[in-house]
Amino acid sequence: MRAWLRARPTIADAILAAVVFVLAVTARPEGPGFIEPVTGATITLLAVGSASLIVRRRFPLPVWACTTVAGVAGVIVAAGPSTAVLPAFVGVYTVATQRGRWTAIGAATVTVLAMIGALLIAQPDALQSPTTYAVLAWGGMATAIGIAVRSQRAIVAAAEERARRAEASRDEEARRAVTEERLRIARELHDVVAHHISVINVQAGVAKHLLDEDPAMAGAALGSIRESSQVVLSELSTILGLLRNPGENPSTAPAPGLGQLDALIDSIRRAGATVTLRSTGTAPDLAPVVDLTAYRLIQEALTNARRYGTGTIEVDIDFMDVTVEIEVRNRIGSTQPSTTPGHGLIGMRERVAAVGGELRTGPTPDAMYVVRAVLPVRLRDPADSGARAS
């Protein structure tokens, strides 16, 4: 019943108005002169005040004014205390629940003073009657209850809003996490597939060209193809393990790093490229995510250099106290790279930005293409390091 009435506030207020009217009409005097008998005029004023309560939620201040005027008029008409004041206290309560605290206190003060004034007009000795102070008590009680109800409603509304925002935030965080994981897997797939498929493509061309003229060299190229395909399958298996169902054991193979750089360069050399590696400084103990980023950066740069360059590639790594500087250079060949950044370049930028590094790429005036990155040895926030490394 309460839920039904809450969904139909006008009907609920009409029922309240009827209850107030019936109680006021049927009230009996508690003692001689305490409450004046109900007359026709009092019933009329009660009807007006009670009827206005039907729209009290939509027009709280006008309804309060109407009930107060009707109550004061009822006291004057009855020449003493009258039940016509009851709708006025409901009006005060309504103002307290719908408006601010000071508005409610002001409305209650006006109502109480007006009714006490009416009592003094009707009965000059009204200050000696307990009814006068009962008006003050009823006005204060209606105001206090109304303010308490309004505060409770505000607390409940705030709690519901916080719950709604928290739920929306959780949904947004979940979507963000899914997007980041999808991008991370996409970068890993691109880094693995693009490099090794490029090597396989080059070796397949070499094998086809030398199959009749130099079967031994063709066989070596086919062996390199086999090795590269095995690496592709192995690394794809590791990456796709991230998409396994819960409960399946993930791969425990370590992520690649600069420790596997020699093997990476050897695979490029076997594909026919000339790679010069220079390293200065003492290699520090890199953060795992930085080590992985450095490896993937060089891998992608070598792949692009082999694809678009003339076959001569220079790799410089400068280890410093707090940073690692990596530079990969190659002379630009006849096949020009696209001016629109591809997935590989975008992936490099995302990886470097994720660890707080800097990346510059592009051609130089002497027809060289340079990929230069500065990576921190350690991440600033260890918590971020663990989160990104995972």
- Residue pLDDT, tens place only, 248-283: 455 555 668 888 888 888 888 887 788 999 999 888
Q: Residue 37: which pLDDT band, with cuts at 50, 70 and 90?
A: low
Provide CB contacts within 8 A for 130, sequence distance 6+.
none
pLDDT of residue 34: 53
pLDDT of residue 388: 41
- E strands, 137-286, where? 274-280
Higher pLDDT, 382 or 218: 218
By mean pLDDT, which of 5-14, 232-241, 344-353 is the weakest?
232-241
Q: What is the rounded CA–CA span in Å between residue 71 and residue 52? A: 12
Residue 300 burial by Cβ neighbours in a 10 Å radius (0-12, 13-18, 19+): buried
Report in angstroms the alpha-carbon separations of 138 from 58, 80, 89, 115, 216.
24, 17, 7, 11, 108
Q: Is the pLDDT of residue 12 over 50?
A: yes
Beta strands across the sheet bearing 358-363: 274-280, 309-319, 323-332, 368-376, 358-363
Mean pLDDT score of the chain, rounded to an integer? 79
pLDDT of residue 317: 93
By mean pLDDT, which of 30-34, 40-44, 197-201, 323-327 is the weakest?
30-34
Q: Is the pLDDT of residue 377 over 50?
A: yes
Report in angstroms the alpha-carbon separations of 277 from 8, 95, 211.
80, 82, 31
Q: Residue 233: which pLDDT band, with cuts at 50, 70 and 90?
A: low
pLDDT of residue 387: 39
Domain annotation for the chain: domains and CATH numbers: 2-165 (no CATH), 254-390 (3.30.565.10)
Q: Is the pLDDT of residue 238 over 70?
A: no
Q: What is the rounded CA–CA span in Å between residue 89 and residue 101? A: 16
DSSP state of 365: T
Per the structure block, which two tokens stand in for 316? 């410089």
Q: Which helix (H) or strand (E) holds 171?
A: helix 130-210
> Quick check: 86 and 101 in contact, CB under 8 A?
no
Provide CB contacts within 8 A for 138, sequence distance 6+.
85, 89
CB atoms within 10 A of CB 254: 12
Q: Residue 325: which pLDDT band, with cuts at 50, 70 and 90?
A: very high
Q: Residue 32: which pLDDT band, with cuts at 50, 70 and 90?
A: very low
Q: Residue 230: which pLDDT band, with cuts at 50, 70 and 90?
A: low
Report in angstroms the alpha-carbon separations of 63 from 19, 93, 107, 363.
17, 11, 11, 79
Per the structure block, which two tokens stand in for 103? 């508005």
Q: What is the mean pLDDT of residues 294-307?
A: 87
pLDDT of residue 282: 86
Q: Is the pLDDT of residue 29 over 70?
A: no
Q: What is the CA radius of gyration of the chain?
A: 42
Residue 279 CA to chain centroid, in angstroms? Answer: 45
Residue 261 CA to chain centroid, in angstroms? Answer: 40
Q: What is the mean pLDDT of residues 292-297?
A: 88
Mapped onto helix, strand or coil, the DSSP state of residue 316 is strand
How much of the chain, in percent, has pLDDT values that exceed 90? 10
* pLDDT tens for each residue of 88-136: 889 999 999 988 889 888 988 998 888 888 888 877 776 777 777 788 8
